[in-house]
Amino acid sequence: QKEVEQNSGPLSVPEGAIASLNCTYSDRGSQSFFWYRQYSGKSPELIMFIYSNGDKEDGRFTAQLNKASQYVSLLIRDSQPSDSATYLCAVTGSARQLTFGSGTQLTVLP
């Protein structure tokens, strides 16, 4: 079982729709949860982090964390073509390593 799992996609949504990206993790001692965006051939860049149960909103992005279910998600409202990228979920586990999922490829169709 992978430590951090994401649906690889590809996920396609029309422009203006809500894109929902999901991630599960296996280490119950995990403390911090991150969402990175990576454009093709580029470095990952941080979108949001969350460490408490519940929702955290930043502009069009909302991260949701449920530690009991070991589940973290990212919602992108009013999706734009410029949001088309691979989204990486990352988790800081109890071993103090930052572990990434394999990423979900998102395409926003104009």
Partner 1 sequence: EAQVTQNPRYLITVTGKKLTVTCSQNMNHEYMSWYRQDPGLGLRQIYYSMNVEVTDKGDVPEGYKVSRKEKRNFPLILESPSPNQTSLYFCASSLRIGIGTEAFFGQGTRLTVV
Burial class of residue 14, CB neighbours in 10 A (0-12, 13-18, 19+): exposed
DSSP three-state, residue 73: strand
Residue choice 23, 87, 92, 106 for contact with partner 1 (CB under 8 A): 92
The smaller minimum CB distance to partner 1, of residues 64 and 92, is found at: 92
Q: How many CA atoms lie within 13 A of 58 on its CB side?
A: 10
Asked if 66 is part of the footprint of partner 1 (rule: CB under 8 A), the reply reads no
The two tokens of residue 92 are: 């800081």
The smaller minimum CB distance to partner 1, of residues 19 and 63, is found at: 63
Contact footprint for partner 1 (CB under 8 A): 6, 8, 31-32, 34, 41-46, 49, 51, 88, 90, 92, 96-103
